[in-house]
Structure 1
Amino acid sequence: MRVDYAARVAQRHGSKPHLPAAAGSGRAPVRSRPGLIVRRDLVAALDRAAEKPVTMISAPAGSGKTSLLRAWADRPGQDRRIAFMSVRPGQQDAQLFWLALLDAVRAAAGTEGAAEPPPVAPGFDGGAMVDKVLSEVAAAGGHFFLVIDDLHELGSAEATEQLTALLTHLPHGVHAIVATRHDLPLRLHRLRLTGELAEIRAAELRFTEAETRELLATCGVALPDEVAGLLHQRAEGWAAGLRLAVLSLAGHPDPERFVAEFSGSHRTVAEYLMAEMLERQPADVQRLLLRTSLLDRVNGELADLLTGATGSERILLDLEDANAFVVSLDPDRTWFRYHRLFADLLRLELRHTHPEAIPELHRLAARWFAEHAQTADAVRHLQAAGDWAEAARLLTDHTVSLTLDGQGGTVVALLRAFPAGAGEDSPELALVYANADLHQHRLAEAQAHLEIARSYAATTPPDRRPRLRTAIASLDLLLARLRGHFDAVFEQADALSSPAVGRSNTEVALAGDLRALALLNLGVTEAWSLRLAESERHLLEGAVLARGIGRPYLEVACRAHLGFVSGSQSFALVRQRCEEAIALAARYGWDAEPVIAPAQVALAGTLICTGEFGQGEQWLDRSRRVTRSDGEPGVRLLVRLISAMLPAARGQHREALAELTAAEQVQAHMVGRHGLSSRVTAWTMATQARLGMVDQARTRLAALDDRQAAAGEIRNAAAVIRLAEKDPIGARRELRSVLDGTAPVNSLLTPIEAHLLDALAWRELGDDRAVEAAVERALHLAEPDRMILPFATTGAWELLDALQHRTSHAALVSDILDAVHGDAPDRSAAGPIEKLSPSELRVLRYLPTNLTRPEIAAELSVSPNTVNTHIRRIYAKLGARDRSSAVQRGRELRLLSNGRT
């Protein structure tokens, strides 16, 4: 299988399609390599080693590790499936490492959709990614090989630890081969003890004398046998040293003298041979090699810029064809790198001969990388040039975008490269430190750095001020989310009043990133403050903007919260938006990431409210699994609250109280009050009262101030306490402000609950007609969304048996009783031939009752003609002849309950 793996990785790193990064996935590219020999014995040794689950190839630079891997992987006729990747130089980010490896696995396995790599995201679960890679290689079946080259370039301790987990849990038939210059802390001792680890070291990679002679012959270098033996002895079988020697010997006027003088350490030998090569190269080639040696990767355009000449690409292609330590990085041969040791020595020569040119070369490279959206590379070259102020400015402007690109580890590494004078107290870098602090949950440090950044932004040039203020507003709002300090940051919303107008495509994209992130943070902060209309507007705007600028993670994050803010409109809208967000997250492989938890828990809450406890519990479990213990407190509080609803509905009050207590502990660590805090407090008091802990509930109620106590949820809890004290008159008095609509409430659940508590109080007072009227009012409010939860949690379902044949909500009553008795309709059961619309389902639920068609129309506030139309469609879709057969068919399809008498 051949794939354009370099172009795919280029997309992941934010470069243009024609700018591949120095990492690959899929099979290693194959091309005829003149002047290389096939080391059959060494390839056979790797074949034997690869039969073990894990093979480590560890040897210094220039030992021939990559050449061995290519020769082994690309033999004609072999049918192994091999996922081949090289780690990018200086790779600091675990996420980018794992996504590149996943790309390689999918390319080798031929997985559908492999052409589109998963997007990067600031939120990353390495353990989940390890599981995903293991799952996909296991699903590939048969023998499968993971080949990871240049692992020494991986600078992420997190990724190294995760790689240990992968290597020690490989499925049967899956083998891993890892090549590195030095041993890494992979903790593979158990594999070594059990004989499941094979190791190839520098000694095995050394050329034999016979291989040295074959290399000389292949390259057309004729030496007497004793001279060839001396060369092998002097090089000690070192592959790079021999390669350098052979290149210099080709056409040398006195090869025997050359071999006689060939001695010393590897570096000394390499420096000597490099000088031989450079002296024999044309001036333009020497200039290109020296002036581009400070780059990790180079293309023709960049080389032309640094040399001030043209035709650099042709020179690079010719050097690679001559095997002169130049390696192409993509199948189209547009990007190249030098052999690591060769590049080091070229840089040394550049420092010796033209030290004054080095800073300007770095500046030219930085400018080119910045113009081509390669910000991290641009910052590195500015740092190398000593332009610390410009490096700080560029990193500050792009820190949010780099984090969104999954390069948070790179940002931290770039920060460490600044000198002490430009360290943590630098106002230019304060925003970068604040961003890094927030993503490591160091909230106090983030607050201090944001204050420095705020002061700095007020004195910056006018053209940079809007961008910095938008970035600060975004991070302010993120800090507010993580601290639960909502009221303190709404004044920052003025930074979002209009998008910043950039003067270039890069600035426009940057402004889009900042604005989308700010809209997300503002919308979520408003959601937890129950400013639902404003939250919906900002989240929708953020989602549309995120899609437009190609930020799927931000779009998923925005849409994941839209379900919660839709609760005041309808449960149908909640379900629709949650399911859309979950489907979008699954498309990008984020269905087990924290970003989608708000949608999962909101969907769980809706299902529990409508009596679908089993399905609700499944989604609740998913949200628990992806919610981190140190994650956003607003989400954690919501998860705890929904977790309390389920046992409360099942009458398991002690379990409910434990979850509510945990929710209060989350609230205690928040600076402000979450919009759902009054519900947590109210349900805690009510649950205590139902458990007989009336004194504790009374003490908690007395501790509330007048504003808190006036909330509808608290008044309902006070009524529960009164009922537990056998004081129904007092309970009705507590409910008065909720029933007359003067008490503030945060959802429709509260007035339904109030009417049911009123009914329970009337039962204690012996007024059956008042009981029936109160229950009927509760059913009327519950009918549009099929709200079942309050009937279960209050115990008012016990009042429904007597009403089932005298209510206009008989179908809902049956559903409530089914849910409470553990026989809720299975909404996932097979449906009719054609799906019924929501309006048709509402009419269907009235068909088991004795209501006439005009009476059904009155209940639904529609015309009789509309009801007649719906009934005709119901009959057609259910294949029914009359009302009775429609009801029977509806029950068979579990669209209606079986009915209880």
Structure 2
Amino acid sequence: MPGRTGAAPQGLIHRHDLIAALDRATKKQVTIVSAPAGTGKTSLLRSWSEHSGRPTAYLSIRPDQYDAQLFWLALLDAVRRATGSSEPPPTAPGFNGPEAVKAELAAVDGEFVLIIDDLHELSSPEAIGQLTTLLRTLPTGVHAIVATRGLSTLRLQRLRLLDELAEIRGTDLPFTEAETRELLATAGITLTDRSLAVLRKRTEGWAAGLRLAILSLAGHPDPERFVAEFSGTDRTVAEYLLAEMLDNQPAEVQRLLLRTSVLDRVNGELAELLTGTRGSERILLALEDANAFVVSLDHERTWFRYHNLFRDLLRLELRRTDDVHQLHRVAAGWFEEHGDVAESTRHLQAAGDWTEAAQLLTDHALGLTLDGQAATVAALLRSFPSGAGVRGLALAHAVAELNRGRPDEAVAHLAVARADLTKAPEDRRHRVRTTIAALDLLAARLRGNFDGVIERVEALPSATTTSTADVVLSNDARATALLNLGVSAAWSLRLSESEKYLLEGAEAAREIGRPYLEVACLAHLGFAATRDSLTRVRQYCNDAVELATRHGWASEPVIAPAYITLAGTLSWTGEFDQAAEWLARARDAVPAGGEPGTQLLLHLAAATLSAGRGRYEEALAALMAATEVRMTGRHALTARVLGWMIELRVRLGQLDKARATLAAVDERLVATAEIRNAIAVLRLAEDEPDAARAELRPVLDGSASRNPRLSLIEAYLLDAHASRALGDDKAARAATERALHHAEPDRIILPFLMTGSASLLTGLPSHSATHAALMTEIIDATSVDPVGLVDTLSRTELRVLRYLPTNLTRPEIAGKLSVSLNTVNTHIRHIYTKLGVTDRSTAVQRARDLRLLSTGRN
């Protein structure tokens, strides 16, 4: 909320010198406040924000924050609340926090302050690195203040060199005598100058010590004697003051503070459960107002935490008076009932109920990961005692290993889980079996064992109970299984099956509220649709990109398949600049050592782009990198990779290497269309056109296994080259016409470029050419003079004509062609004049009658 002026909150004072220092610091980009616990960092920041007069977002990081996503979600929520944004909170894993927060900050009009307190609680190296980047590149007018214990983990040396970093250290924070007197006065305590000086000297101006002393002094019958006897080490003093404070509090407050100290965060309802009394929220609010080491965590002041030192001392006292383990068990039950499985597991661990904690984590590890808490799962696993003392964690370990991209290690854990299945209670066996089956599918896919995924699908059991836990797990497992089936079918080139599975998976993900899974399904759907419609390919990919962007995952691996597919298909149609942009996005999103299938597709897309641009050595290097991707099984596109390697070696004049590559091809792949086409290219280079045509015959008659798009078009073009070499111009023209026929619906030009087929087009009769507009684009891409194509319309007019049958408006056509709207209007007027028509629909029909446009898809 925007800062406001007025009286200091109860228990806070105006530390004028420090507030002035913060005012000066905000002239720089970032301020770091680094000091030990209890030095008054939070109080200073709250007091400054209340009087700064600037819009301020304040985030206090909750203890043990392991997950980058949860940190960025909390920070985005703080910024949106401060700016009054009504955007709904994003959910699910992989949340791209830096982009979302930076965009929100950039939209702020005027100055804005971002305060992040308790940075030391952020245990995610990923989040620390991302926050460092954000702080280095804050939008103009935004200043950040970060408070932490000790030295900051942020790497902001560059800002220091640019004089854009201000620092306030622990030595700047001790209370002066004047501030100590004012602090005492706010509590209604008066001391002589001598006693005040003694108190400050013995506490060394330590804010926490002073506040503890004030709590004990309030109502003390002899404040001067108390100060005189106040001595000892920090630990001794703190324990003494804690006892004094508790003795001076009403019994219900003592009970609440002690029994809720087992929690890292507490609200009124949970406090009442642990204490068995009502009015807990009122007590917590009063304690915060009194600045008694209680801090609210949200704007509504419903969740609270205790100062770490205060909480630890309360816990020390609690051990002497209560059953701590039972309190943890009660808290665990409350958090599980309210859907916070991670916190529930932590309390079961604290209670020493290791078996129950292992069971709870195992049941929910997959769901936690799908919700973006994979790092929390890993942290919880580390909190279990080592050795064989705790059983039943194999599945949770498998989930963690799969998330780290280590399927081999996950498979070993799954074997242990499968062996332990007979020992599981009867009511849990279905749950465990379902999780094993779902993880088996994912492990097989990540290892590149696509046939194994299909084989394992029958192992996925159907639900046998209607318990909430079983239903949730079964829904998660089903949606995950459909995704893995769809991906594996796609990368086995069973594209029709793939599209069916992925559509079902996307729908299932929507129904159960798992947008991350929905994005994953949509991202792979584009590739599944490449068998017959680039229009549908782009629609699926665009839907995936839109949904991913909405949730902040535009740079996450989950969306990479859509980027790769767009890059590849845009290369098919000769739109190389756009293809390069999507390929760059894909490279940014794909992690090193990521999923093998995605790595192979990325290399193949890079090779496709380079080959289309005539950069054959770059294309060959990308294909060689694709062959080095480690897989347990075979990717169906391996044939395309090897076939294009052979063709590119021929184009580069490396015939011996082409022959060597062919000799090393697995005999099961030799009969595929991709390898047959490659052999035909080699035979043509060896001046054996008859052998080339014989090799192509199974591709053209459909008996060879092939991708029905690129391979068939390429085969017709190679057949045309072979026919021309044999002197059969009629057969060459017929084969070229067939290639154009199959390329026309989606304007595919890549095979024409890779086979050097522009010369085949110039030999076609100008008046019998059905695909004049497409031919013009192909020749444009090869920079060959279009002699004898179409005399009536210019090359540019033919390109405009190509878009008239579509639903694109004139401005959209201008955008596609990268020309002005006036230029498009001029060309359309010329087209109408030359065709003797007055409107668009008649122009399209006239062009089809003249065979300048195809009559439609066949």
TM-score normalised over the length of structure 2: 0.88
> Counterpart of 1:836 in 2: which secondary structure?
coil
Specify which of 166, 172, 186 is matched with residue 204 of structure 1. 172
Q: Structure 1's 642 and 330: CA in aligned 2 closer, same or farther, altered over 3 A? A: closer
In 1: Cα distance, 2:11 partner to 2:806 partner: 69
Residue 619 of structure 1 deviates from its aligned partner by: 2.2
Q: Say whether residues 1:68 and 2:44 are aligned partners.
A: yes
Which residue number in structure 2 is paired with residue 601 of structure 1?
A: 564
TM-superposed deviation, 1:187: 4.2
1:825–1:897 CA contact under 8 A, matched in 2 = no
State how far apart, in whole Å, the 2-side matches of 1:748 and 1:96 are: 44
Deviations 1:349-386 (A, max 9, x none): 111223xx111111111111111111111111111111
Identify the residue that residue 376 of structure 1 maps to in structure 2: 342
Q: Would the aligned equivalents of 2:405 and 2:595 in 1 still touch at CA under 8 Å?
A: no
For residues 54 and 464 of structure 2, what CA distance do their matches in structure 1 show? 53
Structure 1 window deviating more from structure 2 (273-282 vs 490-499): it is 490-499
Match of 2:772 in 1: 810
Q: Deviations over 1:453-507 (max 9, x none)?
A: 2222343223322322332233222222322122223232124464575413x55
In the other structure, the counterpart of 2:588 is 625
Per-residue deviation at 1:445?
1.9
Counterpart Cα distance in 2 of 1:539 and 1:616:
24
Of 480, 488, 500, the residue aligned with 1:537 is 500
Alignment-derived partner of residue 816 in structure 2 = none
Partner of 2:269: 301
Provide closer, same or farther for how the CA distance between residues 430 and 603 of structure 1 changes in structure 2, counting only shifts above 3 A: same
1:318 corresponds, among 271, 286, 295, to 286
CA distance in 2, matches of 1:141, 1:559: 36
Structure 2 CA distance, aligned partners of 1:186 and 1:311? 41
Deviation at 1:566, TM superposition (A): 0.9
Picking from 474, 477, 487, the partner of 2:441 is 477
From the superposition, tell whether residues 808 and 489 of structure 1 become closer, same or farther in structure 2 (CA, over 3 Å): closer
Counterpart position of 1:836? 807
Q: Partner of 2:68 in structure 1? A: 94
User: CA 1:835–1:241 in structure 2 vs 1: closer, same or farther (change >3 Å)?
Assistant: same
Distance 1:143 1:650, change over 3 A: same
Q: Which residue in the other structure is 1:695 paired with?
A: 656
How far did residue 680 of structure 1 move?
1.0
Q: Is the 8 A contact 1:749 1:790 kept in 2?
A: yes
Long gaps (5+) in structure 1:
3-26, 842-874
Look up the match of 1:16. Answer: none
Query: CA, structure 1 residues 500+576, in 2 after alignment: closer, same or farther (shift >3 Å)?
Result: farther
From 468, 478, 493, the equivalent of 1:515 is 478
Q: How far apart are 1:273 and its partner, in Å?
A: 2.1
Looking at structure 1, the residues matched to 762 and 484 of structure 2 have their Cα atoms a distance apart, in angstroms, of: 48
For 1:822 and 1:379, locate their aligned partners in 2 and report how far apart those are by CA, in whole Å: 69
Q: Is the 8 A contact 1:818 1:897 kept in 2?
A: no
Please give the alpha-carbon distance, in whole angstroms, between the structure 2 residues aligned to 1:895 and 1:99. 56
Counterpart in 2 of 1:334? Answer: 302
Residue 325 of structure 2 corresponds to residue 359 of structure 1: yes
Match of 1:868 in 2: none
Q: CA deviation at 1:412?
A: 1.7
Q: Is the 8 A contact 1:890 1:896 kept in 2?
A: no
The correspondence of residues 654-803 of structure 1 with structure 2, limited to 5 A, is: 654-666=617-629, 669-803=630-764
1:816–1:411: structure 2 CA closer, same or farther, 3 Å change rule?
same
* Correspondence for 1:5: none
Corresponding position: 1:558 with 2:521: yes
Alpha-carbon distance between aligned partners in 2 of 1:119 and 1:86, rounded to the nearest angstrom:
20
| Residue aligning to 2:601 | 638
Mapped partners of 1:827, 1:218: distance in 2: 84
In the superposition, relative to structure 1, how do residues 93 and 245 fare at CA in structure 2: closer, same or farther (>3 Å)?
same
Mapped pair 1:186 → 2:154: yes
Distance in 2 (CA, whole Å) between partners of 1:678 and 1:136 is 47
The match for 1:435 is 399
Q: Which amino acid aligns with 1:199?
A: E
Whether 1:819 and 2:781 are equivalent positions in the alignment is: yes
- Aligned: 1:578 with 2:554: no
Partner of 1:117: 89
Contact 2:679 2:692 in 1 (8 A): yes
* Residues 188/578 of structure 1: CA separation in 2 closer, same or farther (3 Å cut): closer
Same amino acid, percent of matched pairs: 59
Alignment deviations for residues 660-682 of structure 1 (CA, whole Å, 9 cap, x no partner):
2122122xx11111011111111
Shift of 1:170: 4.7
Higher mean Cα deviation, 485-494 or 726-735? 485-494
Change in 2 beyond 3 A, CA 1:30/1:554: farther
CA contact (8 A) 2:4 2:53 kept: no
User: Does the residue aligned with 2:446 lie in a helix, a strand or coil?
Assistant: helix
After superposition, give the CA deviation of every residue in 1:371-423 in whole Å (9 maximum; x if it has no partner): 11111111111111111111111111111222222222222221111112357
The alignment covers a number of residue pairs equal to: 823
Give the Cα separation in 2 of the matches to 1:742 and 1:456: 49
User: What amino acid is aligned across from residue 656 of structure 2 in structure 1?
Assistant: D
Verify: 1:486 aligned to 2:461, yes or no.
no
Contact 2:773 2:799 in 1 (8 A): no
Query: CA, structure 1 residues 94+721, in 2 after alignment: closer, same or farther (shift >3 Å)?
Result: same
Deviations 1:142-176 (A, max 9, x none): 54433211111112233334444444455665433
Task: Give the aligned residue type for 2:265.
Answer: R
- Partner residue, 1:653: 616
Q: Output the CA distance in 1 between the equivalents of 2:15 and 2:848.
A: 71
| Counterparts in 2 of 1:281 and 1:884: CA distance versus 1, 3 Å | same
Counterparts in 2 of 1:124-135, with a 5 A limit? 130=98, 133=101
Name the SS of the counterpart of 2:426 in structure 1: coil
The 5 A counterparts of 1:861-880 are none
Counterpart CA distance in 1 for 2:644 and 2:201 is: 83
What does the per-residue CA deviation read over 1:759-794, in whole Å, with 9 as the maximum and x for residues that have no partner?
111101111111112222222222333332222221
1:421 counterpart SS class: coil
Question: Of 126, 129, 134, which aligns to 1:158?
Answer: 126
**Contact kept? 2:362, 2:393, Cα under 8 Å:** yes
Q: Partners in 2 of 1:829 and 1:255 — Cα distance?
A: 92
Change (3 A) 1:161 1:285: same
CA RMSD of aligned residues (A): 3.5
Letter in 1 for 2:33: I
Question: Are the aligned partners of 2:66 and 2:123 in contact in 1 as well (CA < 8 Å)?
Answer: yes
Residues 1:351 and 1:131: Cα distance change in structure 2 (over 3 Å):
same
For 2:284 and 2:174, the matched residues in 1 are separated by 28
SS where residue 419 of structure 1 aligns?
coil
Determine helix, strand or coil for the equivalent of 1:327.
Answer: strand
The 3-state SS of whatever aligns with 1:337 is: strand
Asked if 2 retains the 8 angstrom alpha-carbon contact of 1:467 and 1:500, the reply is no
1:404 and 2:381 correspond: no
Paired residue type of 1:394: L
Are 1:412 and 1:436, in contact at CA under 8 Å, matched by a contact in 2? yes
What's the secondary structure of 1:293's corresponding residue?
helix
When structure 1 is superposed on structure 2, of 183-192 and 763-772 the one drifting more is: 183-192
- Mapped to 1, the partners of 2:160 and 2:702 lie a distance apart of 72
Preserved contact between residue 144 and residue 174 of structure 1 (Cα < 8 Å): yes
Distance 1:827 1:235, change over 3 A: farther
CA deviation digits over 1:92-118, x for unaligned, max 9?
Answer: 1223223433444454456x66x3233
Distance 2:455 2:636 in 1: 19
- Provide structure 2 residue ranges, at least 5 long, that are not aligned to the other structure: 786-794, 813-827, 854-858
Counterpart contact for 1:814–1:899, Cα < 8 Å: no
Distance 1:175 1:671 in 2: 51
Equivalent positions of 1:461-476 (< 5 A) are 461-476=425-440
Q: Aligned to 1:148, what secondary structure does the other structure show?
A: strand
Separation in structure 1 between the aligned mates of residue 459 and residue 737 of structure 2, nearest angstrom? 49
What TM-score does the superposition give when structure 1 sets the normalisation length?
0.84
Distance 1:897 1:64 in 2: 84
